[in-house]
Amino acid sequence: MKLDTRVLRHLTAEDWRVLTAVELGSKNHENVPTPLIEKLSRLKGGASGVHKSISALAKAGLIARLKDAKYDGYRLTYGGLDYLALHTHASRKHVYSVGSRVGVGKESDIMIIADDNGTQKILKIHRLGRISFRTVKSNRDYLKNRAAGSWMYLSRLAAMKEFAFMQALREEGFPVPEPIAQSRHTIVMSLIDALPLRQISSVPDPASLYADLIGLILRLAQHGLIHGDFNEFNILIKEEKPASEQHSQQTPSSEKPEGKKQQDQDQAQDTVILTPIIIDFPQMVSMDHQNAEMYFDRDVNCIKSFFKKRFHFVSTVPGPFYKDAKKTVGKDGAKRLDASVEASGFTKKMAKELEAAIREQQAAAEEKGSGAGSDDDYDDDDDFDEDDEDDEAGESEQEEQNSTDCFQGFNLTGRWRDSGAPGSSNGDPR
């Protein structure tokens, strides 16, 4: 399922009411009866107005008929859920325009967006079930046990959990993107000018970067948390320059002797600071989890293995080990973030449901042959919405044609915008 906002600006207020009614009805019905849609939408035009909006929404792929349904009704598609989330973000001034997709994963899509001021941000759209459905979509018994509606619910849980943890981690000073807003299965967060660790071929000091990453694992543990997927796909590396060097660069080059110029150039190569940024938190678990040791060891071994293969670096220091990290939980005034997130509303029941779904995703990915890697670079654009599959091929060519390196796209009110290259905040959003 690809995010296509071209239809969004054409929807009327009545269309939004009907789409919202289908969403409300989906809480108790996989196939929402048409009479219930009419009742929940409460349009002044009555049934005729509802049917007009239903026709428009179905044509746009935002709702769809359920195959072999025993009564007349419609279900919400992922496209419809996308639009409802975007509509909420736009009403809250968090999203003004939508640009290119910059990442595709097994469980999420990553989009460049901009707010009213032209500031570029990231929109993460959770899509749990994409792999699981494609792996077993011929198994009708499976589909009875895990319908598309429940995957949407689980995608909401993933977004809720990730947003809650990002907020908690950010408040404690962890290097994570700034969480800005969450609606349904989507999160708006700050755009960070950094590269995934997997794209970096060499670093000046592998030992220092390794120590920083292991330090982050231990610091998370002290706050009662295990990332659960701490690897080269979910770690961004940001290059920063020391304050003294930035000050030196402000001095005009013409005022420096030739020897000083060369010295500054040599120092510039040696004084770049590599700052790791952690991303992707739906699989994060507590240090008290029944499988905590397995998750902790896996995170540590992922870093060890990557540094050995990529940078030919092997630490001479053994560990760290879960039993030692466990002793540090809550020490030195560290706040238990696992407890604070649960207190924020993400309950243990939600956590268990989401964890089971993530395990199912991982098993399906292994069955498909993609291994236990990350979301990034997952080159499969179809989701589990069978009714949309016939339309995907044409949309794929159109999207690739529209996707460019610059930030271009229709904003949510129908005006064209071009705000420059990704990472910049130039351009008039109006």
Catalytic center residues: 229
In angstroms, rounded to a whole number, what is the distance separating the alpha carbons of residues 413 and 430? 10
Is residue 187 within 8 Å of residue 123, measured between CB atoms?
yes
Length of the chain: 430
Is residue 292 within 8 Å of residue 286, measured between CB atoms?
yes
CA distances, 55 to each of 40, 49, 70, 311 (Å): 17, 10, 20, 57
Task: Write out the DSSP string of 22-66.
Answer: HHHHTTT-SSEEHHHHHHHH--TTHHHHHHHHHHHHHHTTSEEPP
In angstroms, rounded to a whole number, what is the distance separating the alpha carbons of residues 284 and 375? 15
Is residue 341 within 8 Å of residue 171, measured between CB atoms?
no
SS3 state of residue 240: strand
In angstroms, rounded to a whole number, what is the distance separating the alpha carbons of residues 65 and 63? 7
Is residue 22 within 8 Å of residue 63, measured between CB atoms?
yes
Q: What does the CA dihedral 342, 348, 350, 355 come to, rounded to 10 degrees?
A: 110
Token pair, residue 137, equals: 């979509």
SS3 state of residue 322: helix
